[in-house]
Structure 1
């Protein structure tokens, strides 16, 4: 059973999937930082100084200074600002994956378009051709 597991785990597809999963997690962290730390402050500034990560609705109809204060008071909240951040992050990740897959597909099309070299004729055919050429010279 250990040998079977080793064979399974060392297959190219499983290893490729593991590498892709790890890189995807790292890429997601970078995109999240890009959205949270760079894009959303700029968008918020353009919209009059809005901090999207602090936008929420308290479900008990009270007013709180921030999400943490609402949670400390035991109020449920709808954090629509964080949802907006996550939607923008998703769109960026999806667009990046689209570009990567589009690039891979275009490389595959180039490979398919390249003509294959003609296969070498069988040895018997080569020998018969040589014999024919020798007889033609006589």
Structure 2
């Protein structure tokens, strides 16, 4: 089989296509959650703790003071932008919580299948036999 045919066979499998769709939807969903955190959650949270904008929380590593993160980046200063990290952590926590809620609801709609009953065993050789068997296929004993 040629490389091209082998790759085509791999790429057209159902699992690969399903995964690709999941990644694309996940990326779009990540943007929605990012906007939710940055535009809805962070402004009131910043106001509640003293009108602070988390995106402007940073430490300049060159020892100079800059009014904003943007000003420090324009000056080419090395910075630790820990406010952006806080936003990213909040994005992750909110996204993980939403996925948890979704999976929990899906599991409620689709309960796991009932466990199978214990198999019927031959009383003589203890081998598994069919429920309607009249003779054990393993030891040939007559069954009740």
Whether 1:97 aligns to 2:96 is no
Q: 2:113 maps to which residue?
A: 112
Q: Secondary structure at the match of 1:63?
A: coil
Shift of 1:68: 1.9
Once residues 12 and 102 of structure 2 are traced to their aligned partners in structure 1, the CA distance between those partners, rounded to angstroms, is 25
> TM-score when scaled to structure 2?
0.70
* 1:22-64 C-alpha deviation (Å, 9 max, x unpaired): 0000000000000011100010011111011111111122211
Q: 2:32 maps to which residue?
A: 30
| Deviates further, 56-65 or 22-31 | 56-65
Q: Secondary structure at the match of 1:30?
A: helix
* 1:90-123 C-alpha deviation (Å, 9 max, x unpaired): 0011112222333344445x251398xxxxxxxx
* 1:56-96 C-alpha deviation (Å, 9 max, x unpaired): 11112221111122123232111111111000000011112
Once residues 103 and 74 of structure 2 are traced to their aligned partners in structure 1, the CA distance between those partners, rounded to angstroms, is 45
Distance 1:11 1:33, change over 3 A: same
Shift of 1:16: 0.6
Structure 2 unpaired stretches of 5+: 117-144
Larger helix proportion of the pair: 1
The correspondence for 1:11, drawn from 13, 16, 23, is 13
CA RMSD of aligned residues (A): 2.0
Structure 1 unpaired stretches of 5+: 116-138
Once residues 74 and 18 of structure 1 are traced to their aligned partners in structure 2, the CA distance between those partners, rounded to angstroms, is 38
Higher relative contact order (CA 8 A, sep 6+): 1
